[in-house]
C-alpha cells in the first residue's frame, strides 16, 4: 500500500497554484481576510477563483459543475471557505462530492487552545470518504436507509496517516518529538460490526508502527473529552464520529472560529475552516478569520513551506494574546481588523 505523506513532497517546478473557493456567507469574508495574510508572506502563488455553492445554485441551478471540478483539478490544492446547503431535496453535499471526487480520505482537525483551554492540544484524524457519509441511501415510502460503509482499505489508510502524525511535530515543551503521541482509536465496536473492523485494522497498523494506542467507545470519548480534554493527544475515528467530536472539541477552546482543517488525499488537498457559512452573521464583519488563517497555515505546511506556516501560527498567537479578537472570543474587532493585525505581525517579524 502506498503510504500517505504528512507533508506534500511532490517535486514541483512551477509556482504553487491554488484554487480559491470562498463559497457562501462568511466564507466570502474570511477567505479574502486570509488571502491578505498570505500576500504578506510574499510567496509566488497563483490564485484561481472558483465560484461554487448556494449563490451559484441560485444563479444557475447547480452548486458545482464538472468545469468547476476541472478548475480545482488544474491547481495544486483548494483553499475553501464555507458553503450553504441549497433547499433542494435532490441536493448532494458539495463538500462530500469534492472529498469523494478527489479521494481526500484524511480530514485533519487540530484542536489547540490559544486562549481558552490553552493546555488542550490534540488532533482529530477523521476518515473522510466512507462511513455514514458513503452517499449510499435508499428512500422508501416509510423509511430511509443510509448505508454505513467501513472498508479494510479505508480503515488502513486513515490509520497509516494517523501513525505518521503520531511522530510528527514537536512535543508539549516545543522540543523535537522523541516518543510518538498516544493514538486513541474511537469506535462503537460493542454494537457495530463495521466499527469492529475499523478498530482491529487501526490496532494492527498502530502495532506495526510501534505507536502506543488505546481504544475508546465514542460515547465514552465524548464524556471524557468534556471532563479531561488535556489527556488526548491524537484521535483516529470514522467519518460521522469525527464530525461530531470535532465540533464538540471546538467548544472547549473557544469555538469554531478557531478551528482549521485539512482534507488530504494522495495527490490533492483541500483546506477549509471547520465552520459553515453562518448566514446569521454574514456580511456584518463579525466573522472570526482565525480558522481560515490557520487553514492557510496548514496548506503552507502541506506544500512544504514550513517556515511560513510557523510564521502564520506565531502571528495568530501574538494577535490573540494581545486581545485583538472578534466578538465570538469576547473582543470588539471586525474580521478585517483581526486580519490586519495578523498581517502586521507577519510584516514586522
CA 3 to chain centre: 20
Reduce the DSSP state of residue 26 to 3 states and report it: coil
Give φ, ψ of 161 to 5 degrees.
Answer: -65, -45
CA dist., res. 190 & res. 187, Å (int):
9
Question: Measured from the CB atom, is 277 or 325 closer to ligand GGG?
Answer: 277
Q: What whole-number distance in Å separates Cα of residue 20 and Cα of residue 115? A: 29
Shortest Å, Cβ 170 to ligand GGG:
27
Beta bridge partners of 272: 261
Sign of CA dihedral 173, 157, 127, 73: positive
Q: How far is the CB of 94 from ligand GGG (least distance, A)?
A: 5
> What DSSP character marks residue 71?
H
Distance of CA 141 to the CA centre of its chain: 36
Q: Where are the beta strands (DSSP E) in the chain?
A: 16-23, 45-49, 77-82, 106-112, 121-127, 137-140, 143-146, 183-187, 213-217, 234-237, 260-264, 269-273
Q: With respect to ligand GGG, which residue has the nearer C-beta, 246 or 277?
A: 277
Tell the smallest beta-carbon distance from residue 197 to ligand GGG (Å): 26
List residues binding ligand GGG (CB under 6 A). 82-83, 85, 93-95, 272-273, 275-277
Our CB check for ligand GGG shows the closer of 4 and 94 to be 94
- Specify the residue, 30 or 40, whose C-beta has the smaller distance to ligand GGG: 30
Residue 23 in 3-state DSSP? strand
CB of 99 to ligand GGG, least distance (A): 9
Q: How far is the CB of 195 from ligand GGG (least distance, A)?
A: 23
Q: Is the Cβ of residue 35 or residue 211 nearer to ligand GGG in the bound state?
A: 35
d(CA 50, CA 24): 12
Q: Which residue, 80 or 303, has its beta carbon nearer to ligand GGG? A: 80
| Residue listed under C-alpha cell 467530536 | 245
- Minimum Å gap between C-beta 23 and ligand GGG is 6
- Considering the complex, what minimum distance in angstroms separates the CB of residue 256 from ligand GGG? 9
Q: What is the DSSP secondary structure assignment for residue 141, as one 8-state letter?
A: T
Amino acid at each position: 500500500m502506498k503510504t500517505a505523506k504528512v507533508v506534500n513532497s511532490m517535486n514541483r517546478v512551477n509556482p504553487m497554484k491554488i484554487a480559491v473557493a470562498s463559497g457562501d456567507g462568511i466564507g466570502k469574508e474570511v477567505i479574502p481576510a486570509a488571502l491578505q495574510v498570505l500576500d504578506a508572506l510574499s510567496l509566488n502563488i497563483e490564485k484561481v477563483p472558483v465560484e461554487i455553492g448556494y449563490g451559484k445554485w441560485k444563479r444557475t441551478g447547480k452548486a458545482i459543475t464538472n468545469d468547476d471540478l476541472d478548475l480545482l483539478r488544474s491547481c495544486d490544492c483548494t483553499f475553501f471557505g464555507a458553503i450553504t446547503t441549497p433547499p433542494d431535496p435532490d441536493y448532494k453535499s458539495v463538500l462530500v462530492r469534492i472529498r469523494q471526487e478527489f479521494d481526500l480520505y484524511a480530514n485533519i482537525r487540530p484542536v489547540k487552545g490559544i486562549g481558552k483551554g490553552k493546555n488542550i492540544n490534540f488532533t482529530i484524524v477523521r476518515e473522510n470518504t466512507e462511513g455514514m457519509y458513503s452517499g449510499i441511501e435508499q428512500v422508501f415510502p416509510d423509511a430511509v436507509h443510509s448505508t454505513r460503509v467501513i472498508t479494510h482499505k479505508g480503515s488502513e489508510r486513515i490509520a497509516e496517516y494517523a501513525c505518521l502524525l503520531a511522530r510528527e511535530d514537536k512535543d508539549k515543551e516545543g522540543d523535537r518529538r522523541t516518543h510518538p503521541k498516544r493514538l486513541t482509536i474511537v469506535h462503537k465496536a460493542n454494537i457495530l460490526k463495521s466499527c469492529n473492523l475499523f478498530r482491529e485494522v487501526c490496532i494492527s497498523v498502530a502495532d506495526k508502527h510501534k505507536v502506543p494506542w488505546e481504544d475508546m467507545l465514542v460515547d465514552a470519548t465524548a464524556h471524557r473529552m468534556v471532563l479531561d480534554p488535556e489527556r488526548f493527544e491524537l484521535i483516529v475515528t470514522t467519518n460521522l464520529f469525527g464530525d461530531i467530536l470535532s465540533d464538540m472539541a471546538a467548544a472547549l477552546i473557544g469555538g469554531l472560529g478557531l478551528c482549521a482543517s485539512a482534507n488530504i488525499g494522495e495527490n490533492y488537498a483541500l483546506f477549509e475552516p471547520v465552520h459553515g457559512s453562518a448566514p446569521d452573521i454574514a456580511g456584518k464583519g463579525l466573522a472570526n478569520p482565525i480558522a481560515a488563517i490557520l487553514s492557510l497555515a496548514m496548506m503552507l505546511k502541506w506544500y512544504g513551506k514550513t517556515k511560513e506556516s510557523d510564521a502564520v501560527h506565531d502571528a495568530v498567537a501574538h494577535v490573540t494574546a494581545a486581545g485583538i479578537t472578534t466578538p465570538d472570543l469576547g473582543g470588539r474587532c471586525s474580521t478585517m481588523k483581526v486580519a490586519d493585525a495578523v498581517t502586521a505581525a507577519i510584516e514586522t517579524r
